[in-house]
Amino acid sequence: MEIKIIVNSFVDLFFPMRCIDCQEVIQKSQFLCTDCSSKLPFTYWKLNKDNELYHKLKNLTQVQNAYSLFHFKHKNNAQKILHEMKYKNRPDIGIDLANLIDIDLSNYDGIIPIPLHEKRLKKRGYNQVAYFAETLAKKNKIPYYSDGLIRTKYNSSQVRENKKNRIRNLNNAFEINPKLLAGHYILIDDVVTTGATLVSAIEKFNSLDNFKISVMSIACA
Ligand SMILES: [Zn+2]
């Protein structure tokens, strides 16, 4: 037996993988147990104009199509998944979630994640939506532009601010990479609550000629 296998067995024995919801011991490559998986709050939406996210964004800016994989509610599974992705560096979760999405994106010109500010990226070491976004691009054989959008403003904490202030603070929070060609892109966000971040990013694209934006999120409140 190789040393690596022995070490891994030891790690499994003393630090087994646990369901991120109920903490039950699960198989290594998973993040939820079967029971908790069956309670995932799927939206069953399509990427179109016929869902809550589209209507939420449409009231704030011009957007083509929208989609969210999950409904987001306080303490539901989707919230726990996003928390795990954000703070525990679990690229496997992003990849698994992207593989759950059975929507043809081959007609779009590329996928762009909502970026973190460079300062936050350095602090955390990764952008939690990157693996999700990149997997979607790979699956659909369309380009992935990790730096299609650049965050220029560092907001230390927006949590306690009201919606109006958030939207004002987010003005000019993003720049579009000047190398990006015009086209119809899909912006990827982890969770949409007020929509302020997304709207600020979309408005940047809308201010240019011949850019169209559709939106996909992991969860939507
Ligand atoms: Zn569970």
Question: What confidence tens digit (pLDDT) does each residue in 119-163 have?
Answer: 888 888 889 899 999 999 999 999 999 999 998 876 555 555 565
Residue 195 CA to ligand 1 centre (angstroms): 30
Q: What is the predicted pLDDT for the residue at 9?
A: 64
> Which run of H or E residues covers position 215?
strand 211-220
| Length of the chain measured in residues | 221
Q: What is the predicted pLDDT for the residue at 199?
A: 94
For the chain, give every domain's residue range. 1-39, 41-220
Residue 128 CA to ligand 1 centre (angstroms): 22
Topology given in CATH for the domain delimited by 41-220: Rossmann fold (3.40.50)
Q: What is the predicted pLDDT for the residue at 55?
A: 96
Residue 108 CA to ligand 1 centre (angstroms): 36
Question: What confidence tens digit (pLDDT) does each residue in 61-112 have?
Answer: 999 999 999 999 888 999 999 999 999 888 899 999 999 999 999 999 999 9
| Euclidean distance between CA atoms 69 and 47, whole angstroms | 10
Residue 23 CA to ligand 1 centre (angstroms): 6
Helix (H, G, I), strand (E, B) or coil at 213: strand
Q: What is the predicted pLDDT for the residue at 171?
A: 66
Q: Mutual orientation of helices 130-140 and 91-100 as an angle, nearest 10°?
A: 40
| Euclidean distance between CA atoms 158 and 170, whole angstroms | 10
Q: What is the predicted pLDDT for the residue at 8?
A: 60
Residue 39 CA to ligand 1 centre (angstroms): 9
Helix (H, G, I), strand (E, B) or coil at 89: coil
Distances (CA, A) of 61 to 73, 152, 164, 172: 24, 21, 15, 15
Residue 13 CA to ligand 1 centre (angstroms): 19
Residue 4 CA to ligand 1 centre (angstroms): 28
Residue 85 CA to ligand 1 centre (angstroms): 17
Residue 71 CA to ligand 1 centre (angstroms): 18
pLDDT at residue 196 tops 60? yes
In this prediction, residue 4 has a pLDDT band, given cuts at 50, 70 and 90, of low
Q: What is the predicted pLDDT for the residue at 170?
A: 61
Tokens representing residue 90 in the block = 């679990």
Residue 28 CA to ligand 1 centre (angstroms): 14
Residue 77 CA to ligand 1 centre (angstroms): 9
Question: What confidence tens digit (pLDDT) does each residue in 6-55 have?
Answer: 666 666 666 778 999 999 999 878 899 999 999 999 999 999 999 999 99
Higher pLDDT, 115 or 9: 115
Q: What is the predicted pLDDT for the residue at 98?
A: 97
